Chains A and B, each alone.
Chain A
Amino acid sequence: MRIVVCVKQVPGTNQVYLDPETRSIVREARHAVLNPYDTFAVAWAARLGSQHGWETLALSMGIPAVEKLLRDSLCRGIDRAVLLTDRLFAGADTWATANTLAMAVRKLGGADLVLCGKMAIDGDTAQTGPELAECLGYAVVTDVTDIKEVSRSQVQVSRHTESGVQTLLVRLPAVLTVAKDSCPTRMPSIADLARGASRPLECWSAANLGADPDRIGQRGSPTRVVCTETPPMKKQSRRLEGTLEQQAASLECIIREIVS
């Protein structure tokens, strides 16, 4: 049985810079972090892997510096890691990304469970997980808040909906995208760091995957980014004057304006 956990490097939340020339996000290694939702996917993979004795593998597509994040996953209890890195992968939208990740999962011989964070905080699309399921022909459940009763053929999961908690029994193989705080995270110990350093980490290129260049990277992406802009800061301030009662009345008017 095998769990594949997909992770992504994103810019630190408060440190997003746009390249003034290309208008794309500057992916600088120093300011990069693991997508926060993926932290919980890694925690789930390590927990389920150690509970059930399943093999765990971390998978990412990105620049060579992403190796550092994968190494960190290995220190958190993941058995092995694969980084998909190649200039041909660059500029991929969610569809081309899902396609590439699916090729890697197939090259591995498939997975029983694929875990992703519910979305990445840079693109905010929440599309890659479900698209990966589509590419692989696996079942998918998004925004999972709990995973329990795992067997070799099925898994019971919960997700919050507007009307309450939905519990689903999902046949494996399946893709689950997990919510924030859905699993307690665990910091690696000093001993884990030494273990993580000795675990296998491979880099695969487009050629390794046998990928058709027309189905990966920018060429394989139906999405066209016409323009990316930093929205201008809109700030309106009005000074309330008069007695407390008059100020309260003015404030009431403003609230009515906004909600009407």
Chain B
Amino acid sequence: MPQDLIRPMTSDQADYLRDESRLIGQAEWIAFPETEQQLREILASCRRSGRPVTIQGARTGIAAAAVPAGGVVLSLTRLNRVRGMKQNADGRYVLCAESGVILSRLRKQIEDRHFAVSDWDEPSRQIFEQFRRDRTQIFTPDPTEATASLGGMVACNASGARSYRYGPVRRHIQGLRVILADGQTLDLQRGREKAAGRTLNLTTEQGGQLRIDLPTYALPQVKSAAGYYAADDMDAVDLFIGSDGTLGVVSQIELVLQPLPDQIWGVTCFFGEEEQAWQFTEQVRAAGETGLLALEYFDRQALALLARYKAGHPAFARLELPQRPFGAAIYCELQGEREDQLLEAVARLGRQMEHAGASPEDSWVARTAFDRDQLLFFRHAAPECVNLEIDRNRQREPSLTKLGTDMSVPNDKLPAVMRLYREDLKASGLPYAIWGHIGDNHVHVNILPRTAGEYETGKTLYRSWARQIVAWDGSVSAEHGIGKLKAEYLALMFGEQSLSEMKRVKNACDPGFLLGRGNLFAPPEGRKTE
């Protein structure tokens, strides 16, 4: 074993045993590779000694995929350089970044047009000069947690509010470098390494041959981050995107950038009744508003929670809230090249509000940086309030965690699923708040249990919803990934036959079942919760 690369875990490294899911795992060793070569050596060593490896990025995930189940923690935090830039066939800028790069830092670098280019090759530097003079670019995926690492975002095929327009991370990845469990390397490019039907034949840089019989299932036609991607003649990169750190270690990612729209406006529409907000969503979607980037929902409970925290918590004092209580709110984000186009689009949203029985007086339009900051604070305050609420409940009952769902359904099931959540929650008497990506029929139901009994009631509800959503051809995880916490729902969604096909893929890439043990398939041994 390369002793200087893999070291025993020490007591001050307890943070590496957990992620934002707050599940605590266990591990004996930890490694922080700084180069791809070191990464290969570490994996080859683990393969020889049979030690399981859990890959970690920034540990912002909430499905516990980065929580170790024994063995070695492989932290990619020091694999954090942007290595170069190129242009693809469509003329888009493509950044080559290592897995440990943090999204917020990358955004700042793109915005400031400032990269450490001294190590870049000459073609990269030439493209960079053009990039500096060109219009401002963005990497569109926008998960709520901007301190996520790029590798983590690839592992769970992350999304965010703007995925309504731009789709999940998958749509913005052109290439990946993947180190397999035995230390061999795959260099994969979209459009170059492709399956023939459902068979994928790959050659590693070291000359090894890999044959993968892809699963035969059809993926649900909804936003989904559950299970391995599979489709006829698919690109090999798509198999590794969303594989929850179970098939290989992504060392380098090629991200496709987009030009930043000239104007981005945020419009928050308030409704007296939740049903009006659902109807508004369906109308706006049906109208095919082209500049719409995001459609985000806040239910009555979420708005009430914000009002309560604004009144009683100094950190939320500057939160702007409507003058009177409302039943629901929808945040619409619009982009456009000209102000008059956006004014027309906003007027159309006003008419849709009236159709849904609401008034365009009850809305906020954010066109300036100051107002956009206010709206961002409003949107991010909801999850923060929920976390504070859970922390408060945990002081009385330390075993409690938040129960947050991440499920999506087809368009025609939106009102039905919203009614299902609300009626079940009302009947149960559990405190809750619902918000999220209603444009993709993907809202997060946050149950806030106060007692162990309420936690169990919440779990039972969650299971019953998962069954119904699977029956409606939805997905049990739309953006967080399955990780360890949702493994039982993956089985529910795909069934035994499909799970065994996924395990066949896993076996082809990682015969020792060493990577991401406990993710997707089985609960890790010896795991414990706080």
Contact = CB atoms under 8 A, between A and B. Distances in A.
Interface in A186-204: 186-194, 197
Interface stretch (A32-40, A85-93, A98-106): A32-40
Contact of B347 (A39, A72, A194): A194
Nearest to A30: B262
Given A184-B320, A185-B320, A197-B343, A191 B361 contact: yes
Contacts of B369: 12, 33
B360 A190 contact: yes
B318 A190 contact: no
Contacts of B367: 72
A185 B374 CA distance: 10
A187 B343 contact: no
Nearest to A188: B365
B179 interface: no
Contacts of B349: 190
Contacts of B343: 193, 197
Interface in B302-327: 318, 320
A191 B320 contact: no
Given A181-B318, A184-B320, A190 B368 contact: no
Contact of B360 (A30, A34, A68, A191): A191
Interface in A141-189: 181, 184-189
Contacts of A197: 343
A72 B350 CA distance: 18
Residue in B320, B360, B368 whose Cβ sees the most chain A Cβ within 10 Å: B368
Contacts of B347: 190, 193-194
Interface in A12-57: 12, 30, 33-34, 36, 39
Contacts of A184: 320
Nearest to B112: A14
A190 B320 contact: no
A188 B364 contact: yes
Residue in A33, A186, A189, A190 whose Cβ sees the most chain B Cβ within 10 Å: A190
Contacts of A12: 369
A33 B368 contact: yes
Given A190-B346, A193-B346, A36 B370 contact: yes
B267 A190 contact: yes
Contacts of B370: 33-34, 36, 39, 185
A12 B370 CA distance: 10
Interface in B322-368: 339, 343, 346-347, 349-350, 353, 359-368
B368 A34 contact: yes
A181 B374 CA distance: 13
B320 A187 contact: yes
Contacts of B374: 185, 187
A30 to B, nearest CB: 8
B371 interface: yes
A186 B375 CA distance: 11
A197 B344 CA distance: 12
A68 B370 CA distance: 15
Contacts of B318: 181
A44 B318 CA distance: 16
A191 B366 CA distance: 13
A12 B369 CA distance: 9
B54 to A, nearest CB: 31
Nearest to B351: A190
Nearest to B317: A181
A20 to B, nearest CB: 16
Interface string A231-256: 00000000000000000000000000
Interface in B275-311: none
B347 to A, nearest CB: 7
B362 A189 contact: yes
B334 to A, nearest CB: 12
Contacts of B375: 187
Interface in A60-96: 68, 72, 75
A33 B365 CA distance: 16
Nearest to A36: B370
A30 B346 CA distance: 21
Given A187-B320, A190-B267, A190-B347, A72 B362 contact: no
A85 to B, nearest CB: 19
B366 A187 contact: yes
A193 B269 CA distance: 14
A189 B362 CA distance: 7
Interface string B365-409: 111111100110000000000000000000000000000000000
B180 to A, nearest CB: 40
Contacts of A193: 343, 346-347, 365
Nearest to B339: A68
A68 B263 CA distance: 13
Contacts of A194: 347, 350
Contacts of B359: 191
Contacts of B361: 189-191
Interface of A: 12, 30, 33-34, 36, 39, 68, 72, 75, 181, 184-194, 197
24 contacts: A30-B262, A36-B370, A68-B339, A72-B367, A72-B368, A75-B365, A181-B318, A186-B320, A187-B320, A187-B365, A187-B371, A187-B374, A188-B364, A188-B365, A190-B269, A190-B361, A190-B365, A191-B350, A191-B359, A191-B360, A191-B361, A192-B365, A193-B365, A194-B350
Given A187-B374, A190-B350, 18 more contacts: A30-B262, A33-B368, A33-B369, A68-B339, A72-B367, A72-B368, A75-B365, A181-B318, A187-B375, A189-B362, A190-B267, A190-B349, A190-B360, A190-B365, A192-B365, A193-B347, A194-B350, A197-B343
Give me the 3 closest cross-chain CB pairs, A-B, nearest first.
A187-B364, A190-B350, A190-B360
